[in-house]
Chain A
């Protein structure tokens, strides 16, 4: 089953796919155009846990050697934006890139979860686009929040897809396109630390709760984006997450 949360006509609704891709069905029975709703993150998001360098090819692309321990960082609510949202590119940066990622949503809470039991704690999956601005990278708590926790720079959605509908472990093709041209391709089977290992690692020191989400990292193929670009992250069986890059003026910021 696929589920979304959307805002429509003054309220927030649970929604499911309509009879055609251009419509969604609200829980109250209304069928509405998918362009007529505001897409929100598809579930009540708890703690956002993100992975860096979790595809061997991407780590190589960034000239990092293999790690002994997952590279984990955390995100907060202000950085999240739903499907068809916009993300600001500051005028003064030279390299801002998308990162298409499989997002793993926790269902049953747990602590000290053995990797053999981990998949029972996964409620489902969605698509994330975890933007980064490399100009702001510094070597302190890298990737620092100025790079990775910017307002509206983590897109997520459109659908939360039940884990039961996806094979375990998920081996899903993922891709990113800019204005219709594919720029990034990968497959979630190539995760360095797979989902069971990540759940085991994290739950060793922190309780994972319902609605917590693990963004599992991105494969190679990151490129700079420009104002006006439509960036689409797509994962087989999960959906297409659309985001548009906007300029400072859209946020009332004059040029520096």
Chain B
């Protein structure tokens, strides 16, 4: 069995996470506005019609107290503040109307990405880095209410770095869950990161990052100093 990510347990069903995490990419209208005609030119040729997802594999989970792995060359990381949607019950082909009934709760996610310049190919090298995803303890959906337009604040080393909301997405949370569930059966404890707003700040080695989402929580995480040696498991080599 996979280890539950983040070693998080929480006080409502499904009580723990499954270890499967999807993130929404190119999910904000403002990003497409920024791209402008480029979204219609090669290699894209047209704006996305279906939801664009990426996967955060289990090596990316930063457990409480872990530092985010810095780029070896000291390059800053993109601080992706996202609302994490916790799936509560199996969801296959759910309608938009029923979708929120499959959402158990929400958490604050900090999804760190190496700088990327393109959206054409999956960004695995940028997004699947060890310890690049931190998460706050989930809060029950009923305690949050409408999560579609909550204030999101990012601070780096104590200074306000980005202020946005959970809104501005191409799809509502209900539509997102509904659309994904047409081709992926979502399981209890799966996470959907509902998208990082354009204008996400960058943070370098040693930075202290704080993300607050109203009604959901607060997440504090530090990026390791670049001088830290890379994690080595070489002793396990045969």
CA distance A29 to B2 in the complex (A): 28
With beta carbons under 8 angstroms apart, the residue of A69, A75, A138, A141 that contacts B49 is: A138
With beta carbons under 8 angstroms apart, the residue of A72, A121, A140, A206 that contacts B48 is: A140
**Residues of chain B within 8 A of A229, CB atoms compared:** none
**Residues of chain B within 8 A of A75, CB atoms compared:** 55
Tell me the residues in window 1-18 of chain B with beta carbons closer than 8 Å to chain A beta carbons. 1-2, 18
Indicate if A187 sits at the interface (CB-CB under 8 A).
Answer: no
CB–CB B55/A76 < 8 A: yes
Indicate if B236 sits at the interface (CB-CB under 8 A).
Answer: yes
Indicate if A77 sits at the interface (CB-CB under 8 A).
Answer: yes
CB–CB A140/B231 < 8 A: no
CA distance A144 to B27 in the complex (A): 14
CB–CB B237/A120 < 8 A: yes
The interface on chain B, measured as residues whose beta carbon lies within 8 A of the other chain's beta carbons, has a size of 49
CB–CB A74/B57 < 8 A: yes
Q: Given that A47-B58, A112-B232, A209-B58 are known contacts, is A76 also in contact with B120, CB under 8 Å in the complex? A: no
**Residues of chain A within 8 A of B57, CB atoms compared:** 46-47, 74, 206
**Residues of chain A within 8 A of B51, CB atoms compared:** 146
**Residues of chain A within 8 A of B49, CB atoms compared:** 138
Q: Given that A72-B122, A146-B50 are known contacts, is A139 also in contact with B45, CB under 8 Å in the complex? A: yes
Indicate if A22 sits at the interface (CB-CB under 8 A).
Answer: no
CB–CB B128/A109 < 8 A: no
Indicate if B124 sits at the interface (CB-CB under 8 A).
Answer: yes
Indicate if B93 sits at the interface (CB-CB under 8 A).
Answer: yes
CA distance A148 to B54 in the complex (A): 11
**Residues of chain B within 8 A of A253, CB atoms compared:** 93
With beta carbons under 8 angstroms apart, the residue of A141, A145, A206 that contacts B184 is: A145
Closest Cβ–Cβ distance, residue B195 to chain A (whole Å): 13
CB–CB A76/B184 < 8 A: yes
Interface residues on A, range: 35 or more
Binary interface profile of B, 23-66, with partner A (CB < 8 Å = 1, else 0)? 00110000000000000000111101111111101111000000
Indicate if B89 sits at the interface (CB-CB under 8 A).
Answer: no
Q: Given that A121-B237, A205-B130, A207-B59 are known contacts, is A141 also in contact with B119, CB under 8 Å in the complex? A: yes
CB–CB A141/B128 < 8 A: no
**Residues of chain A within 8 A of B122, CB atoms compared:** 71-74, 141-143
CB–CB B236/A109 < 8 A: yes
With beta carbons under 8 angstroms apart, the residue of A136, A145, A209 that contacts B59 is: A209
CA distance A209 to B92 in the complex (A): 30
**Residues of chain B within 8 A of A36, CB atoms compared:** none
CB–CB A74/B55 < 8 A: yes
CB–CB B234/A110 < 8 A: yes
Q: Which residue of B lies closest to A150 (CB)?
A: B183
CB–CB A206/B53 < 8 A: no
CA distance A146 to B55 in the complex (A): 12
CB–CB A47/B59 < 8 A: yes
CA distance A120 to B54 in the complex (A): 30
Closest Cβ–Cβ distance, residue B38 to chain A (whole Å): 12
Tell me the residues in window 67-109 of chain B with beta carbons closer than 8 Å to chain A beta carbons. 92-93
CA distance A7 to B18 in the complex (A): 22
Q: Which residue of B lies closest to A152 (CB)?
A: B185
CA distance A49 to B121 in the complex (A): 14
Tell me the residues in window 98-146 of chain B with beta carbons closer than 8 Å to chain A beta carbons. 114, 119-125, 128-130
Q: Given that A73-B124, A77-B20, A108-B238 are known contacts, is A141 also in contact with B230, CB under 8 Å in the complex? A: no
Q: Which residues of B contact A (CB under 8 A)?
A: 1-2, 18, 20, 22, 25-26, 43-46, 48-55, 57-60, 92-93, 114, 119-125, 128-130, 183-187, 230-234, 236-238
Q: Which 4 pairs between the two chains have the least Cβ-Cβ distance?
A: A74-B55, A47-B57, A73-B122, A140-B48
